Amino acid sequence: MILADKIILLRKRAGYSQEDLAQAVNVSRQSVSKWEGAQSIPDMDKILKLSIIFGVSTDFLLKDELEDFDGISIQEDQDLHTLNLSIEDVDSVFKVTKEASHKIAWGVSIVIISPIMLILLEELAKANKINMSINVAETIGAIFLLLLIALAVGLFIFAGFKMKEVDYLENQDFNLQYGVKSVLEKRQKESQPKTISILILGITTIIMSVIPSIAFDKTSPLLENISAVFLLALVALGVHLIILSGMDLAIYSKLFKKGDYSKESKNSERITGMIASLYWPLITIAYLGYSFITGDWGMSWIIWPIAGILFGAIAGFISIFYNER
The answer to whether residue 296 sits within a structural domain is no
Separation CA 111–CA 287 (nearest Å):
10
Phi, psi of 262 (to 5 degrees): -70, 160
pLDDT for the residue numbered 71 = 44
The answer to whether residue 280 sits within a structural domain is no
| E strand or H helix that includes residue 85 | strand 82-85
**Are 150 and 103 in the same domain?**
yes
**Are 150 and 247 in the same domain?**
yes
Domain edge (last residue) among 239, 261, 283: 261
Separation CA 212–CA 221 (nearest Å):
14
Report the CATH number at residue 12: 1.10.260.40
The answer to whether residue 124 sits within a structural domain is no
Structurally, how many domains does the chain consist of? 2
pLDDT for the residue numbered 78 = 45
What residues are paired with 85 via a beta bridge? 176
pLDDT for the residue numbered 123 = 82
pLDDT for the residue numbered 148 = 92
| E strand or H helix that includes residue 72 | strand 72-73
**Are 110 and 217 in the same domain?**
yes
Q: What is the DSSP letter of 17?
A: -
* Of residues 200, 201, 223, the one with CA closest to residue 212: 223
Separation CA 286–CA 280 (nearest Å):
10
* Of residues 285, 291, 142, the one with CA closest to residue 228: 291
pLDDT for the residue numbered 272 = 64
Sign of CA dihedral 240, 245, 248, 249: negative
Separation CA 21–CA 41 (nearest Å):
15
The answer to whether residue 172 sits within a structural domain is yes
The answer to whether residue 316 sits within a structural domain is no
R_g of the chain computed on alpha carbons:
27
**Range of the structural domain that residue 72 is part of:** 3-83
* 3-class secondary-structure state, position 41: coil
**Are 92 and 76 in the same domain?**
no
**Are 43 and 95 in the same domain?**
no
The answer to whether residue 78 sits within a structural domain is yes
> In angstroms, how far apart are the furthest CA atoms of the chain?
89
* 3-class secondary-structure state, position 40: coil
pLDDT for the residue numbered 194 = 92
**Are 109 and 245 in the same domain?**
yes
pLDDT for the residue numbered 68 = 58
**Are 157 and 237 in the same domain?**
yes
- pLDDT, averaged in runs of 10, over the chain (325 residues): 81 80 86 83 86 82 66 45 75 89 91 87 85 88 91 90 79 75 88 91 90 78 78 90 87 75 57 70 80 72 76 68 55
**Are 112 and 26 in the same domain?**
no
The answer to whether residue 140 sits within a structural domain is no
**Are 170 and 203 in the same domain?**
yes
Residue 121 in contact with residue 137, Cβ under 8 Å? yes
pLDDT for the residue numbered 237 = 93
**DSSP alpha helix (H) spans, the chain:** 3-14, 18-25, 29-36, 44-54, 58-62, 74-81, 87-113, 116-126, 134-163, 168-171, 180-208, 211-215, 221-256, 266-294, 297-300, 303-324
Domain edge (last residue) among 261, 283, 309: 261
The answer to whether residue 134 sits within a structural domain is no
**Are 90 and 77 in the same domain?**
no
**Are 78 and 92 in the same domain?**
no
**Predicted model pTM:** 0.60
**Are 159 and 112 in the same domain?**
yes
Domain edge (last residue) among 63, 83, 103: 83
